Structure 1
């Protein structure tokens, strides 16, 4: 496996974004909760060989490593060096000897065929350039009977994204965001078309009221990469159009304000398929 994966502009921007977020990524327990549920639902056991795709700061990898024991092994891969540094430090602090973190592109992995009992991808699947190709590629690494588990968000999740999509559509711009994995049917179809069987999907219906200020801060803008799309869709707008679109976004968000704040849906899918 290459120590320095060749990244295109889209992936390099993702790597830079998440490396810049690495020092504050663990400030919230939200990603940790998602990771632990994915591992729990995925049935990790003593001795399992686990591959954690887009490991980030190692939430899934560390949770799995604490279960598989000395007879098991966990490999976490990511393209963001800053996130990997955090993951390695956390594993070292916990004295985990069965865990390894590698800099690698999830869609170009050179990994042993039929070597993994479990493959997981939390909070990152939607960032893959080609979802079907990624799943098909990962399918090869599973042992027969092994299980892949991914986490995805419903297309109703994140009020900022929903409103951004609505505003962008007025300008003839399509934002994918969570749409490719946004329903149970889409998730099931993705895995089945990639060759997975016995697909099971657990739904966590969640959400909370957030402040108007926080909701307005969820504007996608054009400064960050967009999941599955490059260049960012709104980057095609002029400065004046972008300012107008942001004003329209704020107006739409304000219309959603209630006495309790703005409702932010976070419906989450935990999707599992067997080889």
Structure 2
């Protein structure tokens, strides 16, 4: 594993957060299914070279490596050492030798132009700053005719985050939707268009379910521990304001309860585009 310094406090928070979440690939089927479906969108072929951004525990990297075979290769990049440690273990268990893992900041780390046939970013976009700028960098890493495949989250998704946005306004905070960049199919398409990708396709899949009131109430601490919430919400409030915000959160949940529970939409977008040949 190549060590790489994390340049600022926010990115250190991201790394620490995911260092504590190294078992996320065992928390139900959501992450494995999303990774598998994203791979299917990109039509990987044997012998190709793959870059997996925010590789995490290697869900995309490992399945991709199995498809490209020993004549191909996969590079996985992530900020979190803990995630990569888990990925190393899984790679060794699978007996794969065609995956290289790099601990690094995808905003800074460099690869030669026209290096990869496919670039993936699965469930990582909300945590990456300057998304349009980074997409243009990734465009440069792709070979002409290469494909980028990323996931996005709809603006309607994750009801708890949307409640927090509503509460933040009571404190004069304009808390941006975590899913703003990929909020709608139109925004997903525009995101890739501005980075000079073409033949863009956006499909979606619903993973939503009903939450019990108790389980939704218990998610308050999880929400606050998310580094995006820490940076944009928690750090701007004192302890009394946070107690009041929790009270408002619990009250808002009460208004959403139905006979089935509280509906939590999880609409995932699969966003795929290609680098024009000749660029």
State the TM bucket, normalised to the shorter chain: over 0.9
Alignment deviations for residues 88-107 of structure 1 (CA, whole Å, 9 cap, x no partner): 11011000111111111111
Once residues 24 and 179 of structure 2 are traced to their aligned partners in structure 1, the CA distance between those partners, rounded to angstroms, is: 24
Secondary structure at 2:199 match in 1: strand
- Secondary structure in 1 matching 2:70: coil
Q: Which residue of 2 aligns with 1:239?
A: 239
Structure 1, unmatched stretches of 5+, are: none
Q: CA deviation at 1:73?
A: 0.5
Give the drift of 1:25.
4.3
Q: Is the 8 A contact 2:6 2:79 kept in 1?
A: no
CA distance in 2, matches of 1:119, 1:213: 40
Question: CA–CA distance in 1 between the matches of 2:208 and 2:27?
Answer: 19
What is the CA distance between 1:24 and its match in structure 2?
Answer: 4.9
Find the residue that maps to 2:202 and give its secondary structure.
strand
Render the CA deviation track for 1:162-209: whole Å, top value 9, x for unaligned. 111111122221222112211111111111111111111011133111
Q: Provide the C-alpha distance between the structure 2 equivalents of 1:231 and 1:263, rounded to a whole number of angstroms.
A: 27
Instruction: Label 1:271 to 1:135 Cα distance change in 2 as closer, same or farther (>3 A).
Output: same
Paired with 1:239 and 1:261, the residues of 2 have a C-alpha distance of 30
Q: Is the 8 A contact 1:42 1:149 kept in 2?
A: yes
Please tell me whether the aligned partners of residues 224 and 232 of structure 1 are also in contact (alpha carbons under 8 angstroms): no
Distance 1:127 1:264 in 2: 21
Question: Aligned partners of 1:235, 1:146: CA distance in 2, in Å?
Answer: 41
Alpha-carbon contact 1:168-1:234 (below 8 Å) kept: no
Aligned-pair CA distance for 1:222: 4.4
What secondary structure, in the 3-state scheme, does the structure 2 residue paired with 1:140 have? helix
Contact 1:35 1:59 in 2 (8 A): yes
What CA deviation, in whole Å up to 9, does each residue of 1:25-49 have, x standing for no partner? 4232211111111001111111110
Counterpart position of 2:89: 89
Matched, 1:217 2:223: no
The TM-score with structure 1 as length reference comes to 0.94
Question: What's the counterpart of residue 180 of structure 1?
Answer: 181
- SS for the counterpart of 1:173 is coil
Aligned pair count reads 273
Give the whole-Å Cα distance in 1 for the aligned partners of 2:113 and 2:142.
Answer: 7
Pick aligned residue for 2:228 from 226, 229, 235: 226
Over aligned residues, Cα RMSD in angstroms? 1.7
Structure 2 stretches lacking a partner, 5+ long: none
Structure 2 distance, partners of 1:45, 1:121, is 18
What residue is the counterpart of 1:32 in the other structure?
32
Which residue in 2 is equivalent to 1:140? 140
1:40-62 CA-to-partner distances (Å, cap 9, x unmatched) read 11111111100000000000001
> 1:116 maps to which residue?
116
- Stretch deviating more after TM superposition (118-127 or 165-174): 165-174
